[in-house]
Structure 1
Amino acid sequence: MNMEAFILGCGGMMPLPYRHLTSVLLRRDGDLFLFDGGEGTQVSLRRLNLKWKKINAIFVSHTHADHVTGLPGILMLSSQVDRTEPLYIFGPPKIAEYIETSRKVLDMYINYPIVVKEITEPGVVYEGDGFYIRSFPLEHTKTCVGYTLEELDRPGEFNPEEAEKLKIPKGPLWGKLQRGESVVNEDGIEIKPEQVVGKNRSGRKFSFVTDTMYLPSIAKEVKGSDLLICEGMFADGCEDQAKEKKHMTSRQAATIARDANVLRMGLIHYSPRYNDKELNVLLEQAQQVYPEARLTKDRMRIEIPYVE
């Protein structure tokens, strides 16, 4: 089952000609999940030629303009295709008012159900086949949340050679063992699943954190992520400004990645004061703490494979 993240925009505060505002699309096989929708989201989606009109759900960190101004266009363009499945939108208080006001003022024609759910406490907000998406609190100048998508454990790997040695004929009995059921072999001996199936294998974890001051508690929430997308808005020397605006430096983001023992971390939501060349300063400072840190860029694709 494939999983991949597409960086639709990596900028913060204001769009630049070469940098749209923060937005990430996560694709898990046929499911599509949008995390934030800053200005320019539609442009990147169309340039990537993704089937974005079938987005299952949108997860909004907070209702500052640089994270939601791309959403009205997404809602309107989604009406250009036949759709019966509802579009779910999750976010902190005010997201329902923003969506409803946008629909009313812009006189949107919407031919599919939109279900908006405001997050008032941390926990699971969305569940699917073999995974769930959970929210957790951040600290910004207004209510803000982070998200993780976590897959359930996968069954262990089936060993056909061992099954044959134990005289279990290939066919339905193999299927039962893989489903966790005991069977009887050709000699009438009971064979248990653990004799031919390995231990459960872990699923994958994707985490999205932006617009927050540094909190040691974030590391616990994103612990063990296969991919953490995390804001690293400022360079060293801007700690006071980051604290005042309740943002993070790239070094603080890297500290979270290190403490959470994540496999990979992509920095996002850069201050417009840094041009693309100057972003290398953010990267170098992050890698001093967490060597696997990387810069994200608009329309970058990041594969999230299973770790066996």
Structure 2
Amino acid sequence: MNMEAFVLGCGGMMPLPYRHLTSVLLRRDGDLFLFDGGEGTQVSLRRLNLKWKKINAIFVSHTHADHVTGLPGILMLSSQVERTEPLYIFGPPKIAEYIETSRRVLDMYINYPIIVKEITEPGAVYSGDGFYVRAFPLEHTKTCVGYTLEELDRPGEFNPEQAQKLNVPRGPLWGKLQHGESVVNADGITVSPEQVVGKNRSGRKFSFVTDTLYLPSIAKEVMGSDLLICEGMFADDCSDQAKEKKHMTARQSATIARDAKVKRFAMIHYSPRYNDRELETLLSQAKKVYPAAELTKDRMRFEIPYVE
């Protein structure tokens, strides 16, 4: 089962000619999940030729303009095709008012159900086949949450050679063993799944964190992520400004990645004061803490493989 993340926009505060506002699309096989929807989200979706028509759910960190102004266009875009499946939208208080007001003022014709759920406490907010999405609190100038999409453990690998040695005939009995059931072999002896199936294998974890003060608690929430996309808005010389505006420096973002022992870490939501060349300063400071730190760029793709 493939999983990959597409950065639709990596900028903060205001769009630049070469940098749309923050938005990430996560694709897990046929399921699509949008994390924030800043201005320019539609443009990157079309340029990447992604199948945006079937976005399952949208997860909004908070209702500042640079994270939601792309959403009305996404809602209208989705109504251009036949769709019967509901679109779920999650976010802190006021996200329902924002969606409803946009629909009313813009006279949107929506031909599919939109289900908006406001997050009032941390915990699982959405689930599907073999995964769930969890929200956790951040600290910004208004209510803000981070998200993790976590897969459940996968069954261990089935050993057909061992099954044959134990005289279990190929066919339905193998399937029962793989689904955790004991069976009786050709000799009338009971064979348990533990004899032919390895230990459970871990699923994958994607984490999205933006617009927050540095909090040690964030590392616990994103612990062990296969991919952490986290804001790194300012360089060290703007640490006072970061604190005042309740944002993080690149170094603080890297500290979370290090403490959480994530497998891959990339920064997002840069201040518009930094052009692409100047972003190397943020990257250099982050690498002093987490040497494998990366910068996101618009329309960048991250593959999230299983770790066997």
Q: Same fold (TM over 0.5)?
A: yes
Match of 1:26 in 2: 26
> Equivalents in 1 of 2:62, 2:107: separation in Å?
24
Q: CA shift at 1:194, angstroms?
A: 0.4
Deviations 1:103-149 (A, max 9, x none): 11111111111011000111110010000000000000000000000
> Equivalents in 2 of 1:288, 1:164: separation in Å?
53
Match of 2:53 in 1: 53
Q: CA shift at 1:220, angstroms?
A: 0.3
Q: CA shift at 1:91, angstroms?
A: 0.3
Deviations 1:8-46 (A, max 9, x none): 000000000000000000000010000000000000000
> Equivalents in 1 of 2:82, 2:229: separation in Å?
32
Q: Stretches of 4+ moved more than 3 A in 1?
A: none
> Equivalents in 2 of 1:109, 1:290: separation in Å?
47
2:163 counterpart letter in structure 1: A
Match of 2:192 in 1: 192
Match of 2:274 in 1: 274
Kindly, what percent of the aligned residue pairs are identical? 88
> Equivalents in 2 of 1:33, 1:185: separation in Å?
45
2:114 counterpart letter in structure 1: I
Match of 1:260 in 2: 260
> Equivalents in 2 of 1:238, 1:20: separation in Å?
22
Deviations 1:228-256 (A, max 9, x none): 00000001111100000000000000000
Q: CA shift at 1:186, angstroms?
A: 1.3
> Equivalents in 2 of 1:178, 1:244: separation in Å?
55
Deviations 1:74-99 (A, max 9, x none): 00010000000110000000100100
Match of 1:3 in 2: 3
1:218 counterpart letter in structure 2: I
> Equivalents in 1 of 2:73, 2:24: separation in Å?
16
The two structures have a TM-score, normalised by structure 2, of 0.99
2:212 counterpart letter in structure 1: T
> Equivalents in 2 of 1:273, 1:144: separation in Å?
23
Decide whether the 8 Å contact of 1:26 with 1:34 is kept in 2.
Answer: yes
- After superposition, the CA RMSD in angstroms is 0.5
> Equivalents in 1 of 2:281, 2:264: separation in Å?
19
> Equivalents in 2 of 1:97, 1:180: separation in Å?
47
Deviations 1:235-282 (A, max 9, x none): 111110000000000000000000001000110000000000111111
1:5 counterpart letter in structure 2: A
Runs of at least 5 residues in structure 2 that lack an aligned partner in the other structure? none
The two structures have a TM-score, normalised by structure 1, of 0.99
What SS does the corresponding residue of 1:132 show, helix, strand or coil?
Answer: strand
Decide whether the 8 Å contact of 1:263 with 1:292 is kept in 2.
Answer: no
2:23 counterpart letter in structure 1: S
Q: CA shift at 1:291, angstroms?
A: 1.2
Match of 2:175 in 1: 175
> Equivalents in 2 of 1:114, 1:179: separation in Å?
36
What SS does the corresponding residue of 1:229 show, helix, strand or coil?
Answer: strand
Match of 2:12 in 1: 12
What SS does the corresponding residue of 2:237 show, helix, strand or coil?
Answer: coil
What SS does the corresponding residue of 1:213 show, helix, strand or coil?
Answer: coil
Deviations 1:153-182 (A, max 9, x none): 000000111111111111111101000001
Deviations 1:268-299 (A, max 9, x none): 00000000011111111111101121100000
> Equivalents in 2 of 1:201, 1:82: separation in Å?
38
What SS does the corresponding residue of 2:198 show, helix, strand or coil?
Answer: coil
Match of 1:209 in 2: 209
Q: CA shift at 1:307, angstroms?
A: 0.3
Match of 2:102 in 1: 102
Spell out the pairing of 1:104-123 with structure 2 (5 A cutoff). 104-123=104-123
Match of 1:132 in 2: 132
Runs of at least 5 residues in structure 1 that lack an aligned partner in the other structure? none
Decide whether the 8 Å contact of 1:257 with 1:290 is kept in 2.
Answer: yes
> Equivalents in 1 of 2:213, 2:126: separation in Å?
26
